[in-house]
Amino acid sequence: MKTRHDDSESIEAEHRLYEAIVSLKSVEEAKQFFEDLCTPTERQAMSDRWRVVEPVKQEIPYRTIYEQTGVSVTTIGRVARCLSLGTGGYNLVYERLKRKTHADKRKTYDSNSEKGPPER
């Protein structure tokens, strides 16, 4: 495993990586970037972690989450620990996406409501 050096060059490189991620404008762009940046195993690990955020937040037992997703209990525990003791990143993005999904559903409902009842 590579030894991590927390020198100013490494810190700057990490900062530039975050700036690159923030510059992405669509899911398709993000997919292209992460396919180039990460190995399939790395992408799967990140996907597994994100996949269990919601059931952990819903306090579903770890064993049940494992049975439903195949994600290891160790990974589920790590995500749960970050949700409660981490820097808040999971919670920030989860809540933001939850609000966006709610707003998108509302727009769809409002759009359909304006059309009136379906014609017969």
Phi-psi region of 26 (alpha: psi -120 to 50; beta: other; left: phi over 0): beta
Between 76 and 115, the more confident residue is 76
Dist CA 112 CA 116 (whole Å): 7
> What are the pLDDT digits (tens) for 13-70?
999 999 999 999 999 999 999 999 999 999 999 999 999 999 999 999 999 999 999 9
- Supply the pLDDT for residue 56: 98
Dist CA 93 CA 32 (whole Å): 20
Q: Which CATH number does 8-87 carry? A: 1.10.1270.10
Which of 48, 94, 4 is CA-nearest to residue 86? 94
> What are the pLDDT digits (tens) for 60-99?
999 999 999 999 999 999 999 999 999 999 999 999 999 9
Residue 109 has pLDDT above 70, yes or no: no
Domain positions in the chain are 8-87
- Model pTM score: 0.78
- Supply the pLDDT for residue 105: 76
HSE at residue 111, side-chain half, CA atoms within 13 A, is 6
Structure tokens at 17: 């990586």
Cβ-proximal residues to 27 (8 Å cutoff; 6+ apart), any chain: none
- Supply the pLDDT for residue 54: 97
Give per-residue burial for 90-111: e unless 16+ CB within 10 Å, then b. Answer: beeebeeeeeeeeeeeeeeeee
